[in-house]
Structure 1
């Protein structure tokens, strides 16, 4: 997704007045600002969310974990979402994201995403949930080069190998064009 596509989706999510509008906005903004996998999002429980330190703990294989900082704009949204739930729904071991009072599953998340894309005026056949993860990684490197190196991105994405992360270091066409145009060979 381009930044324009992402902003179009966010604009729709922010304007939406549906019963699940806060949940949907939070889910898709979390995916786009943390690089979470969809499986990590749907398995997220309240004990993994730390609103005081503004982090999310993702449990990984082999008792490993990664700590993801929350974007400052998401902390109030997450607090608001949590406040909208009933006491039993925010118990430490309860899932953060519910769909009609039960835990949201990857398929349900996929269906919601396609519906949100359509309502936002974006082609639902063009994008998948994984595009949000790719968009996060690509935009993080393109727009934040001074603060993000490949190793940091690897940690954020939870890649075991740096080679998995290197796929995001592709050079944009404009950068290639500038390089060729500035090549003083003639």
Structure 2
């Protein structure tokens, strides 16, 4: 009888599902909806989701973003990411007027440097779960499948750039 030298060795783990990438068509459909939406939080939602799409922010970084991290003059945001590593991310030029309008729409006490940029319906800091709920709701309203895409370490489970 032969000895099985592999006995007791665990096989490597495999991912159950490969990530589903949002195509540029999906992204355009989402952005078209966000730009047409007329709700109390439509500007906030548009900025949040466009920031995720254009900067590669993680959802935890987005919800913990404060006004002191946003530099509207140099058009950048300063992020302290994993391992306390700091990085500077450029802001897309299309976001600048949106961010300025959004900031102007807030009350003066909501734009202190240490205040969160994104607030929930109760004017408290948005949390990752709240962002997830908003993302799924916006997907559904934009005519995209809310079960197909997820927010995971960057925007929309990594948008596939096809151009």
Length-normalised TM-score, structure 1: 0.72
Instruction: Report the equivalent of 1:49.
Output: 70
Distance in 1 separating the partners of 2:138 and 2:83: 35
Alignment pair present for 1:98 and 2:119: yes
Structure 1 residue 119 corresponds to structure 2 residue 136: no
Residue 133 of structure 1 and its aligned partner are, at CA, apart by 5.2
Partner in structure 2 of residue 107 of structure 1? 129
**Closer, same or farther in 2 for the Cα pair 1:119/1:90, shift >3 Å?**
same
| Equivalent residue number for residue 20 of structure 1 | 41
Task: Give the CA deviation at 1:63.
Answer: 4.4
Aligned to 2:25: 4
Please report the TM-score for the alignment, with normalisation by the length of structure 2: 0.82
RMSD across aligned positions (CA): 1.2
Residue 71 (structure 1) aligned to one of 92, 100, 104: 92
Q: Which runs of structure 1 show a deviation greater than 4 angstroms over 4 or more consecutive aligned residues?
A: none
For CA contacts below 8 A with separation 6 or more, give which structure has more relative contact order.
2
Q: CA deviation at 1:129?
A: 1.5
Q: Where do 5+ consecutive residues of structure 2 fail to align?
A: 1-21
Specify the SS of the correspondent of 2:145.
coil
Contact 1:31 1:133 in 2 (8 A): no
